Structure 1
Amino acid sequence: MVQVLVKGLAVLSLFDTFRPEWTVDQMAEETGVPRMTVYRLVKTMESAGYLVSDRTNRYHLGPALFAATFVSLERCEGLLKVARPYLEELALHTGETVTFAMEIDGVPVEVGEISTSRPFTRPHAPGRIFGYTNTAHGKVFVAHKAPAEREKIRFELATPHSLADRESLSLELEGVLREGVAFNFEERDIGICAVAGPVRDQAGRVVASIAVLAPPGRFGVRERQSHAEAVKKAASSLSAFLGYLAPEKSE
């Protein structure tokens, strides 16, 4: 049952504002799930109203999904409004694209972006559902999950740089918790690198992630170290505004 749910979520995660419609064949190819399995999943989700099909046999998100996420989206809009000044300041300071992500119904979703004026092309628009193991945002969220939850995370091999095994992921997540930021070196899309940091609420829960994105040519050692510090500062400032009191460092 868990594996079926994971495969179903993998299918739903394909739909975003950049590519809102898919055929069964395209979904099977993109997710690596067998075509007949995708077909059965899609038909089940269609009968429940989570997907709808048109005359060309292309599928779109259905009304049941919109209704289920309405409350989450309202929460996202409120937090994004609060976060925007911090995102704008970070974009101004780094000169690079800044994105803001939250977990919606158990998956990391980009809900906001401040674009750079410098040459930079992104294949995805805001609204994209991210993987947990091949994006900086995703790593931030999964690093702060319980071990049992981490074990359920599905690997997404999008590029030759994507993490492909539990040991590599575990080592990377240890680094995220130790350093306070997560990196992505062309692991989701060739030509895109990123560094992200966690935003916490008053209770200390990670409720969002802030990231700086840049092409590899502008993400050398010096740049990424500078961006990492800037991301940590922005995330820390927003967390403090939300009521989070960071523990004092022991001397």
Structure 2
Amino acid sequence: MAGSGFLQTADRALQVLLAFTDDRPEWGVTELGRELGLDKSVVQRLLATLANRGFVLADPESRRYRLGPAVSQLARVAERSGALSLIARPVLAMLARETGESAVLNVAHGGSYRTVAAVDGRGPISYTAVVGHVMPGHAGSSGHALFAGLPAEEVRELFGPEPLARCTPSTPTSYAELAQRWQQVRETGVSISAGEFDANVGAVAVPVQLSGATVASMTLIGPAERVTGRTDDLTAALRGAATDLSRRLAPGAGPQAG
């Protein structure tokens, strides 16, 4: 039946997309066919169709494929529907209990980032994040963790001309400053800032990844002096929580206990 053949093709296309993971963010046609048990010509046609729709991107030099912008677009739709915040909240609650600092999840919003879930810290002095609040992408650890992996040309399109808006004396206002900061983020996998968006606030952030793409940033926020004095333990806690959230977000993950 034609219908069953169409469903088989759709299922194979989904198999191709789900093969892209944090451990395997790139595939060549031959190795992907071998992994999925599909003929090379079938995989080539599927990848071409997915690339035409923006779900995968092909590197013309290496001829390898990685996930494309359409995947991030779907992640944003899921976020707007409330799915991301619903899944993230118990993870943030555990993180806030463990560290005592406010735990926040942010997603890209054009050239800015928006808070979609937050749990306040339990310390005598804590930072309260407001769900729905939008902040400039170049100011603060959350934005650095979100945007550090983007190509420079795309960043300029999102952020606009220099000088970038200065929120405090510590805010990066040039692309040269951002390039230096983001190189550190790419090398270490963590962003640490003090006073970039609010002069009294410090933050540590890590990217949350799904199938090799950054879909959010997870951040611990508190008084600048306190946060910058304990970045090692906050980073360790964040990495564990981000891994937990990535696992919960993965396709096929069942309901998780809070």
Fold match by TM threshold 0.5:
yes
Matched, 1:206 2:214: yes
- The answer to whether structure 1 residue 77 and structure 2 residue 73 are counterparts is no
Map of 2:236 onto structure 1: 229
The one of 152, 160, 171 equivalent to 1:162 is: 171
Greater relative contact order (Cα < 8 A, sep 6+): 2
The AA in structure 2 aligned to 1:232 is R
Secondary structure at the counterpart of residue 228 of structure 1: helix
Instruction: Determine the C-alpha separation between the residues in 2 that align with 1:104 and 1:82.
Output: 19
1:20-78 CA-partner distances (Å, limit 9, x unpaired): xxxxxxxxxxxxxxxxxxxxxxxxxxxxxxxxxxxxxxxxxxxxxxxxxxx84764510
- Report the residue type matching 2:200 in the other structure: G
Deviation at 1:220, TM superposition (A): 3.4
Question: Identity over aligned residues, as a percent?
Answer: 26
Instruction: Say if 2:105 and 2:118, in contact at 8 Å, map to a contact too.
Output: yes
Matches of 1:230 and 1:76, distance apart in 2: 28
Q: Could you tell me how far 1:122 is from its partner in structure 2?
A: 4.3
Q: Check 1:76–1:161 CA distance in 2 against 1; reply closer, same or farther (3 A cut).
A: farther
- Aligned-pair distance for 1:214? 1.1
Q: CA deviation at 1:98?
A: 0.7
Matched, 1:215 2:236: no
Distance (whole Å) between structure 2 residues aligned to residue 123 and residue 190 of structure 1: 15
Distance 1:76 1:94, change over 3 A: farther
1:194 is matched with 203
Post-superposition CA distance 1:180-231 (Å, at most 9, x none): 1112211000111101111112x3211111100010231234x112111111
Q: CA, structure 1 residues 84+129, in 2 after alignment: closer, same or farther (shift >3 Å)?
A: same
State how far apart, in whole Å, the 1-side matches of 2:221 and 2:129 are.
12
Structure 1 residues 124 and 86: alpha-carbon distance in aligned structure 2, compared to 1, 3 A threshold: closer
SS at match of 1:103: strand
Supply the distance in 1 between the matched residues of 2:239 and 2:225 (Cα, whole angstroms).
Answer: 22
Cα distance in 2 between the residues matched to 1:106 and 1:172: 17
Partner of 2:255: none
The structure with more radius of gyration: 2
Say whether residues 1:93 and 2:98 are aligned partners.
yes
Unaligned runs of 5+ in 2: 1-75, 252-258
TM-score normalised over the length of structure 2: 0.61
Unaligned runs of 5+ in 1: 1-70, 245-251
1:103 partnered with 2:108? yes
Partner in structure 1 of residue 189 of structure 2: 180
User: What is the Cα deviation at residue 119 of structure 1?
Assistant: 2.8
1:120 to 112, 116, 125: 125
Work out the CA distance in 1 between the residues paired with 2:140 and 2:131.
14
**SS of equivalent residue, structure 1 residue 148:** helix
Query: Which whole-Å CA distance do the structure 2 matches of 1:87 and 1:232 have between them?
Result: 12
One-letter amino acid of the structure 1 residue matched with residue 196 of structure 2? E
Q: Is the 8 A contact 2:112 2:135 kept in 1?
A: yes
The partner residue of 1:241 within 229, 243, 248 is: 248
Return the alpha-carbon distance in structure 2 between the equivalents of residues 81 and 123 of structure 1. 19
What's the C-alpha RMSD, in Å, of the aligned pairs?
2.2
Q: Say if 1:206 and 1:227 are closer, same or farther in 2 by CA, change over 3 A.
A: same
